[in-house]
Each structure stands twice: as structure tokens, then as C-alpha cells.
Amino acid sequence: MAQLIKEPFSGYYHREVPEHDRELTEVGPGTPCGEYLRRFWHPVGMTAELKDLPKRIRIMGEDLVLFRDGRAKIGLLELHCSHRGTSLEFGMVERCGIRCCYHGWLYDVDGRVLETPGEPPESTFKDRFFHGAYPTIEYKGLIFAYMGPPEHRPEFPIYDSFELPGYRMVPGGETEHKYIYDCNWLQLAENNADQVHFVFLHDPEEARTKLDRYRPSVSGGSLEDYFNVGLKEFDSDLTAIRENFRSRVLEWQESPLGVIGIHTRRVGDLVWVRLGDYIMPNVDQFAPSRFRPTGELDFGPLYMTAWTVPVDDTHTVAYQFRYAPENREQRSVARPLRSSQSINRTYEDRQRQPGDYEAQESQRPIAVHALEHLGATDRGVTLVRKLLREGIRALQRGEDPKRAVSSVGNAISTYCRNTVLRIPPAETPEADRELLRNTGRKVVAAVLSGQPVSTAK
Ligand code: FES
Ligand SMILES: [Fe+2]
């Protein structure tokens, strides 16, 4: 943690910017975190994107080309041709594999060199080596790749959320350059273990819009009105949001998958427990937060499983599956997490109404953990970092990375959900907070052990 400055006007003693935490943030080949992440399957593209043209992508600092050939096989190959380095993004996708535009070498999806048409017909050159290739799996609209050592390739994990009865999955992810976050992957990943930011960043959106009426930079009003009237209104809105939030209980706990976030609040006679999963190393599952509890509910399904995928050390892309009830009309493609509307806003607009991208990208291209001052509400973030470090170090000791295992059938049990129990309020606010805390913990215990949630009463 940062050294605390103890005197006012002491910037002079706080100018050094220490190095970022290389162990947790750097993802290139051979780095500790990069090698750890490479032991898992990650989404690298979407079915909908692959047409006749190949797609150039960058994942964990490696430049690659992604394509689907005429046999509908997906290829993920080293970008630069093995012959003399021309980029295969300019190649021709054929029935079998992709052909380099420069001298026509043809590569199969597994890296086999099928043709070197300029070489003498009797040449066996092409049979003596492979082009770099990675295995892929296409699953419900997303394309996943495994980029680790072939001998350690794990099974593709199927989470039970992928098999929610009555729900269909809507794949999402925007890989166009303009949607790529210009910051390190961990900033996006750990944001999902930080529910407190909602109170300050997201929930006051409306209050900030109201404030525009008083902003000299928008309406031309006076600064006096801005500070004396506008900001006063804003403060009382924010106080209401904050007080509402203070009445809830937020906790984090390790789970067989990684971390469970427990968010417990009271709604009249009901206690609403919202559980979120952080699945190591970079998967998050969220339950709907705009949900109106009306009665007891054992299992309210999640709305999203999301992957944070490093492009390189300072760029990141997000992929998701959103869950939509089968009988409800839904947009066919999910909204990207970083919407074009947000990145097309003016700088001043972004200052007035900042969102996730403003908050996360501006932590620096790679956040410097040594300068942070982490408090009690950062427990989710510290827990994620701790598990990540443990995983990285275990791999370095030669251990296989810990992964979630399936418990029923083929699917891996996950815990994300909304749950509601009827439990009348305790006598005092303090006692009720304690009651909420205990209820949240009991719900987690029940869910982890596969018991009905009603046992948490
Ligand atoms: S550089 Fe690709 S075939 Fe020559
Ligand atoms: Fe957010």
C-alpha cells in the first residue's frame, strides 16, 4: 500500500510512480500471469463476425488471424506467414484453410502447411514444419481458444448457467478497435468485484443530469447557483442513495470457483440476497440488479456471464453471454459494454457524466497498486487479486491451476442468483443489519452445499 503523506501541500514527497504489479497485470508470452491465463479457454471472437474475410486479432500480446474455412472449421493462426511474414489478414480463406496473398502458401486450421505452390513439385519442405495454430471451440455464438501448452489443454468448461431451462443465450462482445478498452485487463476484471462503485458512479446518473440545469458549462447559469442550489440538490440525492446503500450488507467470500459477492438488502418483509460469481481467472456472473422482489424466490436466474480478455498489457476486450427468456423478444445482439455512444461523447460530457470506461481507463494504462489506499469496501478486489496471485504462483511451482469442477452431470455448478426470503425486520436498524448479514451468509452456505435456500431462514 502507498506510504501515507502526513502533511498538507506535500505533493513534492509523493511524485514517484512505482512500477505496476507486473506479476498480476502483464499477459505476454512467458510472463507469470500470461502463462497462468493461457491455461484456460478464453473467448476470442464471435460466430457472427466470421464471414468470407479473415479477422486480425490480438490476444494476450499475440497477433493472430481468425477465420472460418469452407468446411466451417475455425482457424486461429499466427498472424505472420511462416514463409516471409506477410500478414494472413490479407490471405484468402479457402475450402481448406487460409492462403497467404504473397506466394500462396496454404495453411490448415491446425497449422499444417498444405501447399507451397511456388516450390518445386517434388519438395517435401512443407511436410517438415507447422505454422503456429491454436485450438478453438465454437459455443453458442462465441469462439473460444486455448493458447497454452498443448499437453495441458483442459476440457472446455460448461457452467450450469449455460443450460438454464427456458432461457436462450445471446452472445455479446465488440472487437472493433473503437470498443477496445485502453487499459489493463485487471482493471475491468476487478471492477466486477467492486459493487460499491454503483453508489457513486452509476446510481447518481439521474442526479447528475439534473445538475446540468445549474452548470455554467451547460446552461450558462452562474457558479453561485451551481454551488448554492444545484450542488445542494445533488447532495441530498446522493445522501439518499448512500443511506439506502448503507442499509444493505456487502460481503465477499471464497468459493470453489473463486469469489462470491453477497449483496443483501431489505425490501419490506423480504430479504433479497443477490449473489455474484467471480470465476477464476477472468469470468464474472451477475444477477439482475433491477429486480423487484415480490415474494419468496429460491432461484432467480442470472442475466450475464462475462469474460475479460486481455488484448495486450494495455488493451482489453469483453465478451458476454446474456440470458433471455425463450418466450420473450430480445435484441439479437447484446449491447457492447462500452457503447459507441459513450466513446463518441465530448470530453466535457464524459467529465460531467462519467461511466465505467472513464473510471477504469483513467486508472492509468496499467493501474499502480502500490499507490492505492484500499479500504474495507475493497475486500472483493483484494480477494480477487489474492486468488490470482495464488494461482500464478501455484503454476510456477509446477502445480496444475485450480479449476472449477462439475458436480452434477457435465455442468459446473455456479452460484450467481437472486434469492428472496420472507424474514420480518428485527427491532432496531443495527439488529436488522446483523440479521441481513447472517441471512446472506446462510444463503451462501445453503447454495454451496446444494441445500434449499429456505434452510437459510
Ligand atoms: S510470405 Fe506468405 S507465402 Fe510468402
Ligand atoms: Fe460499473
- When the pLDDT of each residue in the chain is averaged and rounded to a whole number, the result is 93
Closest residue (by CA) to atom 4 of ligand 1? 103
Helix ranges (DSSP H) in 142-273: 185-191, 197, 205-211, 216-219, 223-225, 231-246
Burial of 33 (0-12, 13-18, 19+ CB in 10 A): buried
The pLDDT score that the predictor gives to residue 119 is 95
- The mean pLDDT value for 272-294 works out to 95
Tell me: the pLDDT tens digits for 88-130?
999 999 999 999 999 999 999 999 999 999 999 999 999 999 9
- Rg of the chain over CA atoms, in angstroms? 25
CA–centroid distance, 436 to ligand 2, in Å, is: 24
**Range name among 6-20, 124-138, 334-348, 383-397 with the lowest pLDDT average:** 334-348
CA–centroid distance, 122 to ligand 1, in Å, is: 19
For residue 389, the 8-state DSSP code is H
Burial of 30 (0-12, 13-18, 19+ CB in 10 A): exposed
CA–centroid distance, 137 to ligand 1, in Å, is: 27
Q: Report how far residue 72's alpha carbon sits from residue 109's, in angstroms, rounded to the nearest whole number.
A: 10
Residue in 103, 107, 113, 131 to alter for ligand 1 test, most ligand atoms within 8 A of Cβ: 103
176 pLDDT tier (thresholds 50, 70, 90):
confident
- The mean pLDDT value for 382-397 works out to 97
Q: Report how far residue 314's alpha carbon sits from residue 323's, in angstroms, rounded to the nearest whole number.
A: 30
Residue 330 has pLDDT above 60, yes or no: no
The ligand with the least distance to the CA atom of 131 is: 1
334 pLDDT tier (thresholds 50, 70, 90):
low
Residue in 100, 106, 115 to alter for ligand 1 test, most ligand atoms within 8 A of Cβ: 100
Q: How many CB atoms lie within 10 A of CB 142?
A: 23
Closest residue (by CA) to atom 1 of ligand 1? 84
Does residue 406 line the site of ligand 1, with CB under 6 A? no
The pLDDT score that the predictor gives to residue 332 is 47
Does residue 105 line the site of ligand 1, with CB under 6 A? yes
CA–centroid distance, 205 to ligand 2, in Å, is: 12
Most confident range (mean pLDDT) of 69-83, 190-204, 402-416 is 69-83
Give the DSSP letter string of 356-390: HHHHHHTT-SS--GGG----GGGHHHHHHHHHHHH
The pLDDT score that the predictor gives to residue 204 is 93
- The mean pLDDT value for 315-323 works out to 95
CA–centroid distance, 118 to ligand 1, in Å, is: 10
Does residue 84 line the site of ligand 1, with CB under 6 A? yes
315 pLDDT tier (thresholds 50, 70, 90):
very high
State the pTM of this model: 0.94
Please answer whether residues 428 and 276 qualify as being in contact, where contact means their C-beta atoms are separated by less than 8 angstroms: no
Atom of ligand 1 nearest to the CA of 116: 3
The ligand with the least distance to the CA atom of 126 is: 1
**Percent of the chain, pLDDT > 70?**
96
CA–centroid distance, 199 to ligand 2, in Å, is: 10
Residue 343 has pLDDT above 80, yes or no: no
Residue 223 has pLDDT above 60, yes or no: yes
The pLDDT score that the predictor gives to residue 175 is 78
CA–centroid distance, 77 to ligand 1, in Å, is: 14
* Residue 307 in grid coordinates: 469474460
Tell me: the pLDDT tens digits for 393-452?
999 999 999 888 776 678 999 999 999 999 999 999 999 999 999 999 999 999 999 898
CA–centroid distance, 296 to ligand 1, in Å, is: 64
455 pLDDT tier (thresholds 50, 70, 90):
confident
Does residue 119 line the site of ligand 1, with CB under 6 A? no
Q: Report how far residue 292's alpha carbon sits from residue 217's, in angstroms, rounded to the nearest whole number.
A: 37
The ligand with the least distance to the CA atom of 201 is: 2
Does residue 90 line the site of ligand 1, with CB under 6 A? no
- The mean pLDDT value for 17-45 works out to 97
- The mean pLDDT value for 19-27 works out to 98
Residue 335 has pLDDT above 80, yes or no: no
- The mean pLDDT value for 236-265 works out to 94
Residue in 77, 79, 86 to alter for ligand 1 test, most ligand atoms within 8 A of Cβ: 86
The pLDDT score that the predictor gives to residue 41 is 98
